[in-house]
Each structure stands twice: as C-alpha cells, then as structure tokens.
Chain A
Amino acid sequence: KQEVTQIPAALSVPEGENLVLNCSFTDSAIYNLQWFRQDPGKGLTSLLLIQSSQREQTSGRLNASLDKSSGRSTLYIAASQPGDSATYLCAVRFYSGTYKYIFGTGTRLKVLA
C-alpha cells in the first residue's frame, strides 16, 4: 500500500533557527513530489515541486531534497521567521500502472519570536 508519512506532527523552534521537515514514502516508483504550506483556514500554497529525476530544488530560504531509494524527502528552511509558522504538507504522485496522488498528514510548525 502506498503511504506518505510526516514526522514530527508538530514542531516549535526559536526564530532564526535552521530546521528540517521530513517526508517518507513507501514506494520508490514516484513521478514527482510537491511541498506545500497551509495557513489556518486557508488553501494550500505550493512551495517546491521535485520531479523524480531531480535530487533537489531551491527557492529562497527553502531547499527540498529527494532520495527515491530511501523513500525520503526533506524540506530545509534556513533562518526561520515567525511568518514561516504554518502546516507543511508533502504530496507524492506515485506511479504503479496508474497514477495516485497521496498527501502526508503534515507537520505543524511554530516559529517563536
């Protein structure tokens, strides 16, 4: 069964700290992986999209890596700010004959001023 897991479920860090969010998936036959942030009561905002042939993507203070063989992706946030407080979700598009798009349950991040 294809599953996506995000640990920890919640994280609090002081402002300025560099941090890593983890996303694990059970099947290495993936097409791509996308990281989102979700603010309370809002929709999802796309952060980074990594194709299966790529190892990492960067946007500003964010860097996402992908290791298909170990079934892991990490989202690195440099110099965290209170405005980064949100829930971070990863979503994996699997391919095993058909395409399936599965989200993790998210990591709720709080950056303390």
Chain B
Amino acid sequence: EAGVAQSPRYKIIEKRQSVAFWCNPISGHATLYWYQQILGQGPKLLIQFQNNGVVDDSQLPKDRFSAERLKGVDSTLKIQPAKLEDSAVYLCASSLENLAYEQYFGPGTRLTVT
C-alpha cells in the first residue's frame, strides 16, 4: 500500500514570496490533515478535511494560509505572503473515515523563509 505522498521535500523562498505544497493521501482515506511543525516542537494542526469539506481550520492563519482539497483526494496548502516565522516542516496526514482511526503521515516539506 502506497503511503502519503508530499512534494516538494524542500523549499527555500524569500519573505513575502508565495509557496504551495501538495499532498496525495493514502487511497481510500477520507480524512486529510495539514500540520505545521516548528523545530523542537510537536506538530500543530492547521486544517482538517473530511472528503472535500473543512472540519477544523481554527488554527490556520487565514490572512496568509489557504488550503483546498478538490474532488476529495489531493490537497494543496498555500502561503501568501510568507513570513520568516513560517519556516517549519509542513506535514500531511490521512486517515480512514472517522476519528477513531490512526493517522498516517507523509515525509513532510521543509520550508525555509529567508
């Protein structure tokens, strides 16, 4: 079974530029999550999708971050414009239908904002 795929693996941009990350979840997983992990901290949930609907985006900085999951499969997370404090690893995870199931994580995208 293929795991969660993410791209790119690494990205370096200057502040005020925009960037987008892509995630392809495990086939058949209805729930998709985006996390931000700052060095030395645990991951912080940014947004959770159930199919193509948003379940929780309470910690997403909506003035600069946006995410979509068209057709309930792949998802993209965008930052525009980026700030220095956005430097982090962005992790995508997926799980089966409901909250009782395990989350499976992709390898992450390491973003450096200079």
Interface of A is mostly: strand
**Main SS class of interface, B:** loop
How many chain B residues have a CB neighbour from A under 8 Å?
24
Q: Are A46 and B56 in contact (CB under 8 A)?
A: no
**In the complex, which range does the number of interface residues on chain A fall in?**
20 to 34
Kindly count the residue-residue contacts between A and B in the assembled complex, taking CB atoms under 8 Å apart: 55
Docked CA distance A58–B33 (Å): 26
CB contact between B107 and one of A4, A43, A51, A93 (< 8 Å): that residue: A43
Distance A89 CA – B43 CA, assembled complex (angstroms): 9
Interface stretch of the complex, out of B14-22, B69-77, B80-88, B98-106: B98-106
Q: List B residues 6-44 near A (Cβ within 8 Å).
A: 33, 40-44
B interface, CB within 8 angstroms of A: 4, 33, 40-45, 48, 55-56, 91, 93, 99-108, 110
